[in-house]
Structure 1
Amino acid sequence: MPNRSSDDLFQLIHSLQKAEKRNFKLYITRNSANEDLKIVQLFDALDKMKDYDEALLLRKVPAIKKQQLSNAKAHLYRQLLASLRLLSNDENIDIQLHEQLDYARILYNKGLYLQSLRILERLKETARAYNQDSFLIQIISLEKKIEVLHITRSMAGRAEKLTQEAQEINEKRRIITHLSNLALQLYSWYIQNGHARNEQDETDVKEFFRYSINRALRVAAKHLVPGIETTLPEGTTATELARMGVSAEALAKMGFYEALYLYQGYMWFAFIRQDFIQYYRYVQKWVDLFHQNPQMIQVETGHYIKGLHNLLNAHFDLRNFAKFQETLERFQAFADSDVVQRSHNNRVQTFIYLSTARINQHFMVGTFREGLALVPHIEELLHEYEHFIDRHRVLVFYYKIASLYFGSGDFERCIDYLHKIIHWKVDLRNDLQCYARLLHLLAHYELGNYELMEHLVRSVYRYMAKMQNLTVIEEQMFAFLRQHFHHSPRRVHEAFRALLEQMKQYEKSRFETRAFAYLDIISWLEGKVTQKSMARVIQEKYEASKRRVAKVEQ
């Protein structure tokens, strides 16, 4: 498990590429006094360490005493950030805008008001081109300050123009804030709970979603409907808003970020409720938004990467084999591009999502054993990136790797990875904690560890009941495991067939089949009934699907 207590400076140094390290050495040599060059020794010592060890560090750099170490590290940290800022200047629109805004402030402080205003005017055009509203607020604020304190005579009607711009951008930010809050809170709900467990979960999510969307629409109404001067009252219903022409579709046309966060909100709303068709529709809108505004891919690379990841997930959930492959190839090509490769964060994110997609592809076609070839590389990069990957992602990887081993028939290795989840005390993904225990139970059943089964069944049942994660599917699984692990092969085979028929009755029920999103129980049972491996059953389903598609295309 990742060690999260590592030193901040150590993490920063180990996130650097070779070019960034070389640039830092050149920067510090040019800009530091001789006595400051000892921080280069500190840098080299930290760079060579695999794990942070302060005692070893002090032995490696005897020029720095223990009482000096804290200040030396702080100084090195600042110098590293300064060198990175210079190196990243041309790659990041945020840094470019910040730099130009700093220049405008310097000119203002020198008393060169008109020069400052000319920079601000050009800066506004760039900020608008890249939808950087937060910078527009700062630019307009400085323009207003100059106009209020000094008689510039820069333009007739300047006060009215700046007032109108300030009001428009503030209203725009209010709408974006409402929508981004909605997307964030729905995502947080999913990270905590997974898919909706029951009708009450779905009702709670629906009420929150409708309230939040309605609030954003009421704020936006004055921009969408001529004649409305203020935000509509809270009692305005969705029906009344629609009658006025205030809709989510109209809201999405207001700007890039309005559309982005709106689509994200609708996407998480659908995904939580396992409405995978709607999930696909809105994540496709999310990705298409970037293709319609290609300049934003470089500005919001993280959002584009996350959009491609969710699009792959949607194709996986819907078993769109051809579209999955097409999107995976596009994602891989993008991962190899300069936009991704020059950013450590982007490289980490593409590793996470491409690895997840490749494992999912093996799940889709039943090639579990072949999928195990991915595990050593994933393990290696999980260790290399341990300070940069959140615990939720690590849990998901452990579960997916355990599922690969389960599908390939290596139940002991499956149990090893499930133990990593079960014994890791984190308050995340209660659903994964539950289904890791269920898969753990099935792995012991496959190994014939019947002496453990009675205790495990009771323990896992109590845990899932406590987490309110029991559906009819789990209830029937537990009933089967309690009753049949000591019976003859013939009776067990008949029981498997009966259980499979019961399970198939619930395939269309979203809440009852929540477990199917975590474990392909139907294919496992079909394997038991037909005396084939789970992998073979899934492979046959995939081949049958390909034949159906080919027949339709003919």
Structure 2
Amino acid sequence: MPKTPSNKLFNLIKSMSGSEKRYFKVFVGSHANKDSKYLRLFDAIEAQEEFDDEVLKNEVYQGKPVQSRKYSELKGYLYDLCLKSLQGYDEKTSVDYKLRHYLQSMQVLFRRSHFSDCQDLLSKARKLAYKYERFTVLIDMLGWEKQLAYAKSDIDYLDEALDRIETEEQHLQQQLTSISAYRNLFFRLLVSLRKDASLTGPEFRKRLADIVDTPLLQQPPESDAHQAQIYYYRTLSIYQLATGDLLAFKSSSEQLIELMESKPHFLNEDVSEYISALSNLIMGCGRVGDYEALEVYLEKLRQVKPLSQDDELKIHRQYYQNKFSLCIAKGDFKEGLSALQTHLRERSHFDNDLFETNTFYYYYFHISFGAEAYDDALSYLNDWLNLSTTVERQELQGTARILNLIVHFELGNYVLLDSLIRSTYRYLKKREQLHDVEREIISFIRKAAGSPSKHELKVAYESLKGAFEQLPQTERAKSFFVRAFDMMAWLEGKLEGKSYGEMIRRKFKERSR
């Protein structure tokens, strides 16, 4: 038996859901005693938080010496047993497994000339296959229909049914062709968007227009398969998002969700794309300022029942990214802190390598800052700053350094600010990120850190606010910092004696009128 790397087995068992693990115990229960070595190894891996091969070996063999080959064979056996168990589990829940079981059973019965029993199974399988649009399987079943009639020498049936079978086969082929065409169009557009994400302007729009200039997107394919319609709206919506037609993007996303929900049995089979579509719709609502609808769809996302660990992770990530963005936009940092604490508890159940915490550090910082929990904000900011530049874009690293100056200023760490200002200046200049926005902020922090009087500090705030207002819109747009943090709300709050959160809430109410 070939060797099975320990972490491969560890990762497989850790990826199993609670119901899958329970099924495994039942699956092997009649073939093993409670003290079997592979069950001990399974339980030991299930209990481990982090992989430790030596601890696992001691748990299985209880300190007794053992040959490495024997241990490797045990891991290989358990790995194969887990796969067989998962196949059995999927067979109980997956449509494809059920259809495969029908076809295999028909083959068994046919070889033994139980033709009537074959026809009974064929009838059941056809209903299931049509319900879930398994067109390739349906074509195979039409072949079985002809084969059974031939085996029974039922020439009258063939004479009556052949035209109907041929027409049905052609229709199924047309549906497969339609799905393939829409799927290829979707992926062609997706590849084009990802291949050169930095491309903008007329050239970018022309390249996308060349892809979507097709009769396939002229109107919804209402007479085609459900899957073809799904691809139509997915393709249309990502094109509208890419070209900035946000109202159309929101509308198409709503139609896509309505279409998906119109046939819930498909969602019981695979909910992954529904999760992504809901997340896109939530983003669309935020982009057009429809926060009431956003909250409705956000709660709908929260209530989606995951079918796999990957689904569970996607729901968690998408829900909290959008939840945090909403709290920041509304200035509801109290709610944001509550959501953050719940998120951190739930996050502990996921593998750190899968979760990618680095994409959340900005949200952690901004919510803590808005709630005036500056020590926490600084801690999250330090986590952000300590990331490898290969993980985060350098513009985010530059933004984090500017925010770092502001947090230290809020904390009154004036002794540290002098050296931090110098290092931040050097970092931004070296990476050509020292725009007028960043220069003005650094200049302000340098003055403010020099222990000025209240009057002098107010003058410094007013000076920075005036400098910001005079900056051309194009200059502000160059800085990711301005898009990531509402500097004007912070400055106006200082001048009016109000908190950053109060100013964000006021601005949100004004926008919502």
**Residue type at the aligned position of 1:185:** V
Equivalent position of 1:459 in the other structure: 427
1:347 paired residue among 309, 312, 318:
312
Q: Report whether the alignment pairs 1:533 with 2:496.
A: no
Rounded Cα–Cα distance in structure 2 between residues aligned with 1:504 and 1:363: 25
Equivalent position of 2:268 in the other structure: 298
Equivalent position of 1:62 in the other structure: 61
**Residue type at the aligned position of 1:437:** G
How much has 1:357 moved relative to structure 2? 3.0
Distance 1:36 1:358, change over 3 A: same
Equivalent position of 1:409 in the other structure: 372
Rounded Cα–Cα distance in structure 2 between residues aligned with 1:540 and 1:328: 23
Deviations 1:341-361 (A, max 9, x none): x64333332222222233223
Distance 1:383 1:207, change over 3 A: farther
**Residue type at the aligned position of 1:318:** V
Q: Report whether the alignment pairs 1:523 with 2:489.
A: yes
How much has 1:533 moved relative to structure 2? 2.4
Equivalent position of 1:238 in the other structure: none
Rounded Cα–Cα distance in structure 1 between residues aligned with 2:333 and 2:41: 46
Deviations 1:183-212 (A, max 9, x none): 6436746xx95xxx6xx4244542342233
Distance 1:427 1:261, change over 3 A: farther
Q: Is residue 301–residue 346 contact of structure 1 (8 Å, CA) maintained in 2?
A: yes
Distance 1:35 1:47, change over 3 A: closer
1:384 paired residue among 349, 359, 369:
349
**Residue type at the aligned position of 1:456:** T
Rounded Cα–Cα distance in structure 2 between residues aligned with 1:314 and 1:127: 35
How much has 1:455 moved relative to structure 2? 2.8
Equivalent position of 1:43 in the other structure: 42
Equivalent position of 1:206 in the other structure: 205
Identity of aligned residues (%): 18
**Residue type at the aligned position of 2:206:** E
How much has 1:77 moved relative to structure 2? 2.5
Q: Does 282-291 or 112-121 show the bigger shift?
A: 112-121
**Residue type at the aligned position of 1:345:** D
Equivalent position of 1:227 in the other structure: none
Distance 1:72 1:50, change over 3 A: same
Rounded Cα–Cα distance in structure 1 between residues aligned with 2:162 and 2:426: 80
Equivalent position of 1:174 in the other structure: 180
1:484 paired residue among 427, 431, 444:
444
SS of 2:361's equivalent? helix
Deviations 1:26-46 (A, max 9, x none): 22022x366993211111111
How much has 1:397 moved relative to structure 2? 1.7
How much has 1:478 moved relative to structure 2? 1.9
Rounded Cα–Cα distance in structure 2 between residues aligned with 1:273 and 1:525: 34
Rounded Cα–Cα distance in structure 2 between residues aligned with 1:458 and 1:118: 78
Distance 1:519 1:321, change over 3 A: same
How much has 1:109 moved relative to structure 2? 5.7
Equivalent position of 2:235 in the other structure: 265
Structure 2, gaps ≥5 residues long: 410-416, 448-455
Within-5 A mapping of 1:114-513: 119-120=121-122, 122-131=124-133, 135-141=134-140, 143-144=142-143, 151-152=150-151, 154=158, 155-157=161-163, 160-161=166-167, 164-165=170-171, 167-182=173-188, 184-185=190-191, 188=194, 200-214=199-213, 217=214, 220=216, 247-251=217-221, 254-332=224-302, 334-335=303-304, 339-340=305-306, 343-386=308-351, 389=354, 391=356, 394-425=357-388, 427=390, 430=393, 433-448=394-409, 449-463=417-431, 465=432, 475-487=435-447, 488-502=456-470, 505=473
Q: Is residue 358–residue 384 contact of structure 2 (8 Å, CA) maintained in 1?
A: yes
SS of 1:7's equivalent? helix
Deviations 1:211-237 (A, max 9, x none): 3323xx35x5xxxxxxxxxxxxxxxxx
Equivalent position of 1:29 in the other structure: 29
Q: Is residue 186–residue 269 contact of structure 1 (8 Å, CA) maintained in 2?
A: no
**Residue type at the aligned position of 2:329:** M
Distance 1:290 1:146, change over 3 A: closer
Distance 1:163 1:280, change over 3 A: closer
Equivalent position of 2:412 in the other structure: none
Q: Is residue 39–residue 76 contact of structure 1 (8 Å, CA) maintained in 2?
A: yes
TM-score for the superposition, normalised by structure 1: 0.75
Rounded Cα–Cα distance in structure 2 between residues aligned with 1:305 and 1:74: 35
Equivalent position of 1:8 in the other structure: 8
Question: How many corresponding residue pairs?
Answer: 484
Q: Is residue 496–residue 529 contact of structure 1 (8 Å, CA) maintained in 2?
A: no
Higher relative contact order (CA 8 A, sep 6+): 1
How much has 1:167 moved relative to structure 2? 3.4
Rounded Cα–Cα distance in structure 2 between residues aligned with 1:477 and 1:6: 52
TM-score for the superposition, normalised by structure 2: 0.80
Rounded Cα–Cα distance in structure 2 between residues aligned with 1:389 and 1:187: 25
Q: Is residue 14–residue 46 contact of structure 2 (8 Å, CA) maintained in 1?
A: yes
How much has 1:57 moved relative to structure 2? 0.9
Q: Is residue 333–residue 367 contact of structure 2 (8 Å, CA) maintained in 1?
A: yes
Q: Is residue 480–residue 495 contact of structure 1 (8 Å, CA) maintained in 2?
A: no
Rounded Cα–Cα distance in structure 2 between residues aligned with 1:158 and 1:114: 21
Rounded Cα–Cα distance in structure 2 between residues aligned with 1:6 and 1:306: 33
Rounded Cα–Cα distance in structure 2 between residues aligned with 1:428 and 1:122: 51
**Residue type at the aligned position of 2:128:** T
Q: Does 497-506 or 47-56 show the bigger shift?
A: 497-506
Q: Is residue 9–residue 75 contact of structure 2 (8 Å, CA) maintained in 1?
A: yes
**Residue type at the aligned position of 1:315:** C
Distance 1:98 1:512, change over 3 A: farther
Distance 1:97 1:213, change over 3 A: farther
Rounded Cα–Cα distance in structure 1 between residues aligned with 2:231 and 2:15: 29
Q: Is residue 178–residue 212 contact of structure 1 (8 Å, CA) maintained in 2?
A: no
Rounded Cα–Cα distance in structure 1 between residues aligned with 2:96 and 2:481: 43
SS of 1:50's equivalent? coil
